[in-house]
Copies of this chain bind each other. A is one copy, B any other.
Amino acid sequence: MSYKNFPMVPRVIFGRGSFNQLSEILEPKRLSINSPFIYLIDDVFRNNDGLLSRISLAYDDKIFYISTKEEPKTSQVDALVEEIILMTKERPSGIIGIGGGSVLDLAKAVSLLLTNDGGAKDYQGWDLVKNEAIYHVGIPTLSGTGAEVSRTAVLTGPEKKLGINSDYTPFDQVVLDSELTADVPVEQWFYTGMDCFIHCVESLNGSYLNTFSETYGNMAYELCKEIFLENSLSKVESQEKLMMASWHGGMSIAYSQVGVAHAMSYGLSYLLGTKHGIGNCIVFDYLEEFYPEGVKLFKEMKKIHNIELPQGICSNLSDDEFNIMINIALNLEPLWENALGKNWKQIISAKKLKELYQKM
């Protein structure tokens, strides 16, 4: 048996207002005046002076605003990398991602593709990256995805939705300032929080689980219950705890994997462009047979927070379209093996997946 030597984020700063310390963290990392810091920022912050005024741009530093209407794409990574190469005199000093999971994953992928030849799609998979990324910093403004701590950067490519999973993917620095999550709309807060909850359910019920991942998963699971079920925390406590739930939930995947909901939700994203958080929720709602306890709690949480999920999103799909989703989902073999064990192919079939998708 060979165990994974897991890469952890080597620096983390936690606290309300810690975003104020960003310049002081970055400045020692500047390689030269020709080597800028590149900021990828969710474009919801485009006019947010409260945030932008605290970013000090010097020399050739540049901000790219990122639309997150769609899931991040390999082509988007390639275009950003090309633009950065053309505009910079020297390799950048660092990439700073400020946003939700989409922006964080883009930042990770861009930092990898600046030191690795070819296109982002060439690295979708496990351990295909050859060279260390450039210095990259993750600053979540949404809690739940675990992207701030994971060794993957999930992208939709021409042929598949799949992460760039590698030891070089994790951020070199993370800033956990829960104040940045204060203005998230309630639906997005719920969907992204449920990404964490579903991570935990899938990890804790998976065959890959070991004690390392179990302890992180349990902690995040309990925090999610406290936040979404008990619903008695102050706003600040809730923001801080969800930020930590996301962090620990991401760590619980270290020696584990996600499962059925994530596999099927990748199918929805690939075909329909469904965003990851809501896609997970749409799928998870129908997975009682795989995760009875988790789905029961999820339905209670939905009710408490008056969340209405879209219905019938698969009702007008053709057989070819169903097959595309099913193939995307079934190709995620580690997720199925984790969820259902080594003999998963005897449990799950294209027919079964189609029946499930048809309900959604």
Mark A residues whose CB is within 8 Å of B. Answer: 1-15, 17-18, 21, 25, 173, 176, 210-212, 215-216, 218-219, 223, 237, 240-241, 243-244, 248, 255
- Taking the closest CB of chain B, its distance from the CB of A242, in whole angstroms, is 10
Cβ contacts under 8 Å, A15 to chain B: 1, 3, 210, 212, 255
Task: Give the distance in Å from the alpha carbon of A219 to the alpha carbon of B219 in the complex.
Answer: 6
Shortest distance from the beta carbon of A35 to any chain B beta carbon, whole Å? 22
Instruction: Name, among A3, A9, A248, the residue most crowded by chain B CB atoms within 10 Å (CB to CB).
Output: A3
Chain B residues whose CB sits within 8 angstroms of the CB of A211 once the complex forms: 14, 237, 240-241, 243-244
Are B8 and A13 in contact, CB atoms less than 8 angstroms apart? Answer: no
Quick check: B13 and A6 within 8 Å, CB to CB?
yes
Inter-subunit contact A13/B3 (CB<8 Å): yes
Most buried by B among A9, A17, A211, A255: A211
A18-B3, A25-B5 given; A248·B13 CB < 8 A: no
Q: Given A215-B248, A241-B215, check contact A14 B3 (CB 8 Å).
A: yes
Among the listed B1, B2, B10, which residue makes an inter-chain contact with A8, where contact means beta carbons less than 8 Å apart? B10
A11 in complex: contacting residue of B6, B11, B18, B237, CB < 8 Å: B6
CA distance A14 to B4 in the complex (A): 8
Contact A13 B4 (CB under 8 A): yes
Q: Which residue of B lies closest to A222 (CB)?
A: B218
**Chain B residues in 8 Å Cβ range of A248:** 215
List the B side residues contacting A21 at CB < 8 Å: 2-3, 5
- Best-surrounded residue of A5, A15, A237, A248 (most CB of chain B within 10 A): A5
Q: Is there an interface contact between B176 and A14, defined as CB atoms closer than 8 Å?
A: no
Q: In the complex, which of the residues A18, A212, A237 has the most CB atoms of chain B within 10 Å of its own CB atom?
A: A212
- Complex alpha-carbon distance, A4 and B12, angstroms: 8
Which of chain B's residues has its CB closest to A176's CB?
B212
Contacts A218-B219, A219-B215, A219-B218 given; does A210 touch B7 at CB 8 Å: no
What 6 A-B pairs come out closest when comparing CB atoms?
Answer: A3-B15, A211-B240, A14-B212, A10-B10, A5-B13, A219-B219
> Do A7 and B13 form a contact, CB below 8 Å, given A211-B240, A223-B215?
no
| Contact present for B17 and A1 (CB under 8 Å) | yes
A244 B215 Cβ-Cβ under 8 A: yes
CB distance from A229 to the nearest CB of B (A): 17
Closest to A244 in B: B215
Q: How long is the Cα–Cα vector from A36 to B173 in the complex, in angstroms?
A: 31
Give the CA-CA distance A1 to B218 in the complex, in Å: 32
Q: Show 15 residue pairs from A and B whose CB-CB distance is below 8 angstroms, ordered by the A residue.
A: A1-B17, A2-B21, A3-B17, A3-B21, A5-B12, A5-B13, A6-B12, A6-B14, A8-B11, A14-B212, A15-B255, A210-B240, A212-B244, A215-B223, A215-B248
